[in-house]
Structure 1
Amino acid sequence: MSAVETVRVGFIGCGRMATAIAQGLIRAGFVSESHVTGSDPSASMRDAFTNATGSPVVAENRVVVSGSDVIVLAVKPQHMASVLNEISGSVEARHLIVSVAAGVPLAMISAAFRAGTRVIRVMPNTPCLVGAGATAFARGPKATEADATLVERLFSTIGIAIEVPEPLLDAVTGLSGSGPAYVFQVIEALSDGGVRCGLPRNISTRLAAQTVLGAAKMVLDTGEHPGSLKDGVTSPGGTTIAGLHQLERGALRGTLMNAVEAATTRSQELGRAANPGK
């Protein structure tokens, strides 16, 4: 058994995201059920986590810390300060701290622990819940290349994981963090179009969703530029170019770019509000 497979992963917070990550780790064979633990003040959350993963849960955060090598902080941002204060004295040099709390900077997390503590901040998105997430992560100054590799492998069990510098995590929030909502709207609009042209709603929505899924898979699997793939579907004088012409008239591309920019700006604003003086 490799070192990766014997890593013990503890989750502080047993909500939907923590549960999805734990399920991915176990399903992929990254760890066994017995090497995952969780803690949460809510009995219903603890029960749901155990039912989904088969892993033990406790009510005491420090018990998770003592029995884990990697500690995943999966609590709401407003609860982070109190959790850090509670566990700071229990964290040792062997621990790797991984935070999935949106907007909580590495500096704040690192400051809660003794010097030299290894910390990595992660920005997953909701498709992680179905094993198709787009995750970005940034390491603190003490986190090593091996730590980054471990986190990449960990989050690759629920999608893809890419390392970026911490200042780019706001852009990640604007793109892949908020992006599923943009795509849901696109799917809904495509479905509406199908209904407008006579398709039953259930058929139209399934076709729209599968079309988006298939197009995305082609981009990822082929490595081709989206524009090149678009050209491959677009015959001279055909149906696709007629539709694309309407999208250009409606400024679809510019609108989506503006959405990413607006969400990125808002993420930066929220980060400043949560960390005044930064």
Structure 2
Amino acid sequence: MAKIGFIGMGNMGYAMLKGALREFDVQDIVFYDVNVDRMKQVSNETKVDYLDSNVHVVRSVKYLILAVKPQFYNDVLKDIADEIEKENVVISIAPGITIKQLKDRIGFDARIVRAMPNTPALVGEGMTGVAYNPTEFNLEEKHIIEKIFKAIGKMKIVNEKLMSAVTCASGSSPAYVFMFIEALADGAVRCGMSRQDAYEFAAQTVYGSAKMVLETKAHPGILKDMVCSPAGTTIDAVKVLEDNGFRSAIMKATEACFDKCENIK
């Protein structure tokens, strides 16, 4: 009997499957996706078997990862609800869909783990917020849940009430970071740097700056001040960012993200 099954093999399902292969044997994983060509492609690359339906995945595994987009959850759950048993651990990675909503849609007090990973999981550097009722799971199950998410980066157990905030902080925010890298590279290209070099310089700078925050534990404002010499180039650039609402725009973006999460039906 396979341990882990994926329904959905989009970007996040694929990233989690690749991560799972670092911790679990290939024969302990199966998946299904409505796109047959996609299934064949992923199977050829990873050697993981795909099955011919959502139902067959549920019947084959204990740990079921729902990696489909929120708008498809109702259809998928209608398809598999009668197959889910109390022994199953159902892992949902959909933003805005609560544990209670999932239990209601499944039709009984199923054991649900709600998680919000992000796309850096593709390179093993994801950040995942995880919420569940610890009294519903034994130690071995908690260990497996932790292994699944640590295989794609870092994870942190959070109160479910904070899951929309997790989506703001890490789930959606890689898009903003990519936009920043692209804009920074565009500026460097305008100053004469080649496109390839501009992306490398910008991306490595973001990566290194993030590592400084994580490893030094220093306040980001202090680290920013370390770069801003009196009357120097950086403080002039920071002023332009402030004049154009850089921080305000990011905060407004997170508010929009939060509101969307809270209003997903």
Report the TM-score, using the length of structure 1 for normalisation: 0.85
User: Which residue of 2 is the match for residue 245 of structure 1?
Assistant: 239
Of 3, 10, 25, which residue of structure 2 is paired with 1:8? 3
Instruction: State how far apart, in whole Å, the 1-side matches of 2:138 and 2:227 are.
Output: 42
Structure 1 position 87, deviation (Å): 2.1
- Secondary structure of 1:191 counterpart: helix
Give the aligned CA root-mean-square deviation in angstroms: 2.3
Code of the residue aligned with 1:22 in structure 2: it is L
Q: Percent identity?
A: 39
In structure 1, what is the Cα distance between the partners aligned to 2:63 and 2:185?
A: 43
2:32 equivalent in structure 1: 39
**Match of residue 212 from structure 2:** 218
TM-score by length of 2: 0.89
2:13 is equivalent to residue 18 of structure 1 = yes
**Residue 7 (structure 1) shift:** 7.6
Structure 2: unaligned runs, 5 residues or longer: none
Unaligned runs of 5+ in 1: 1-5
Which of the residues 144, 164, 173 maps onto 2:158?
A: 164
Decide which of 110, 115, 128 is 1:117's aligned counterpart. 110
Q: Where in structure 2 are the equivalents of 1:45-194 lying within 5 Å? A: 45-113=38-106, 115-140=108-133, 143-144=136-137, 146=139, 147-194=141-188
CA distance in 1, matches of 2:20, 2:172: 24
Cα–Cα, structure 1 residues 264 and 54, in superposed 2: closer, same or farther, change >3 Å? same
Alignment length (residue pairs): 264
The AA in structure 1 aligned to 2:15 is: A
Q: CA deviation at 1:142?
A: 5.8
Distance 1:162 1:145 in 2: 18
Cα gap change, 1:141/1:17 in structure 2, threshold over 3 Å: closer, same or farther?
same
CA distance in 2, matches of 1:226, 1:171: 19
* Higher RCO structure (Cα 8 Å, ≥6 apart): 2
d(CA) in 2 for partners of 1:200 and 1:132? 27
